[in-house]
Structure 1
Amino acid sequence: MKKRSGIGEWIKQWVDKAERLLAPTWNTCSACGVSYSTEHALPVCKRCSEVIPWILNVRCDQCGRSEVCLDCTRRKQRFFVRNRSVVRYSPDMKEWLGLYKYRGNENMQRLMGTMLLHAYNLHNESAATSGDFSRCVELITYVPLSDTRLAERGFNQAQQLAQELGRHTGIPVISMLERVRHTDKQSFKTRAGRLQDMQGVFAVLPSAKVKYNDLFSHGSVKLYIVDDVYTTGSTLNECSKAIKKELPADVFGISWAR
């Protein structure tokens, strides 16, 4: 009788374990907050996953846009190699970014930062297409906020996204740039206004130049600058200009939306 009881207990434990393995794991969607049981590569439900307008076919090699880009044809001088973005800036993606930047939904950091892997992979695809297989040091930095904007928002979304990308890729994330003057929000300005307003806004941090000068001087460096949205490319171009003036590096842009 004792032996049968032992076998029965073992069977019960095995059945309980099997039920736990077969039972769906419920997660909370980072974007809409609903519970879902289906596993995705991203922490979102099926409905939110289906509205993501991934940029899959790059038409403009400079900015990574999925259509012909007039901004790039009009740019007089470009200081970055190329930019790649994750998604088109659709109304749904605008809502997602608003949840993160203005409503403090911290779950969006993990979601959007993970999505940046797509832009990073697009860079690798472009490098492979062009036959660029050279070995180099890879580093990640980000577009800095002014002290005024940082105090207003409480965090730098570009910095957080860069750190998330660094966590996934293993690439070091460094603080490289500072804003030397505050600018108003770019979303309310014309293209000409953006270009004019962004001139001379960024500079390499003196401490960064001292700290990383030796690293940059001993070989090829590929530096990725992370930002949330690429609109005209004026921000990325001015950041790249400031870096190229001080340090020898090939600068690339990684933005969440285009």
Structure 2
Amino acid sequence: MLAPNRLTCLACHAAYTSPGELPLCRNCADKIPWILQPRCATCGRPETCMDCVRRKDSYFERNRSAVSYNPQMKGWLGIYKYRGHEEMRRLIGSMLLHAYNLHKHEAVVGSADCSEMITYVPLSDKRLTERGFNQSQQLAEELGRKTGLPVIPLLQRTRHTDKQSFKTRVDRIEDLQGVFAVDPSAKDKHKALFSSSKVTLYVVDDVYTTGSTLNECAKAIKKEFHSVDICGISWAR
């Protein structure tokens, strides 16, 4: 009866007995490449970012990511996103709290008169059918549980696009032009939420690469709700 409870690491499935803040064994937890000091003020990258320098029109305030996208993080995302191990949402979603706290620590958002809400990058119907779930939605919901902030479905895709990971920066930008729009039913339903004088909306995604996805999401939202400040929260950069 006095034996410690044996837990299972979500990443490597090893047994461990000392629970931490994340459902991981000590070995996996120690290997997380947390972004502790963002160097790019716009995208949160821990080194100089030429993507932000080259972007002509930016519709979002800034992005912050929890970790650097190294081979190990790529493997974790693959287990979740492509192999369908949805229990990984608890791990990756919990890690988003670090990115949210980076926003708060830098005093970017969160003033007393500021309302904060969370939304997420939508999938096309085709991709949702293939995968069976929207990882960005699941991560947003996990972050909502951690922060107590409301999570609202707001965006829709106007057309299906191929996977962005196989495309160049220029191709990403061109391919995503006009691909997002505020869902008409969501616009009517949530209009009152954006009527306050100061609203910050976090757009959640799994990986920030060039910022094209976040920028197009922000552009679509700004078209309908002009005064909202849009910040990105992504798991990896």
- When normalised by structure 2's length, the TM-score is 0.97
Identity %: 64
- TM-superposed CA distance for 1:135, in Å, is 2.1
How large is the Cα RMSD of the aligned pairs? 1.2
> Which of 111, 120, 133 pairs up with 1:155?
133
> Which of 183, 193, 212 pairs up with 1:215?
193
Q: Tell me which amino acid in the other structure corresponds to 1:182.
A: H
Q: Does 1:89 align with 2:74?
A: no
**Matched residue, 2:104:** 124
Q: Does 1:63 align with 2:43?
A: yes
**Matched residue, 1:73:** 53
User: Any idea what SS the aligned residue of 2:201 has?
Assistant: strand
Q: Does 1:230 align with 2:208?
A: yes
Q: Tell me which amino acid in the other structure corresponds to 2:10.
A: S
> Which of 67, 88, 109 pairs up with 2:89?
109
User: Any idea what SS the aligned residue of 1:127 has?
Assistant: coil
Q: Give the helix-richer structure, 1 or 2.
A: 1
User: Any idea what SS the aligned residue of 1:243 has?
Assistant: helix
- TM-superposed CA distance for 1:134, in Å, is 4.8
**Matched residue, 1:139:** 117
Query: How far apart, in 1, do the equivalents of 2:232 and 2:165 lie?
Result: 19
| Pairs within 5 Å for 1:137-216 | 137-216=115-194
Show structure 2 runs of 5+ residues with no match.
none
Show structure 1 runs of 5+ residues with no match.
1-18
Q: Tell me which amino acid in the other structure corresponds to 2:193.
A: L
Query: How far apart, in 1, do the equivalents of 2:166 and 2:172 lie?
Result: 9
- TM-superposed CA distance for 1:218, in Å, is 2.6
**Matched residue, 2:230:** 251
- Tell me the number of residue pairs that the alignment of Structure 1 and Structure 2 aligns: 236
Query: How far apart, in 1, do the equivalents of 2:57 and 2:112 lie?
Result: 25
Query: How far apart, in 2, do the equivalents of 1:25 and 1:164 lie?
Result: 25
Residues 81-116 of structure 1: per-residue CA shift (max 9 Å, x gap): 000000000000000000001111122100000000
Q: Does 1:26 align with 2:6?
A: yes
Query: How far apart, in 1, do the equivalents of 2:107 and 2:81 lie?
Result: 32
Query: How far apart, in 2, do the equivalents of 1:251 and 1:186 lie?
Result: 22
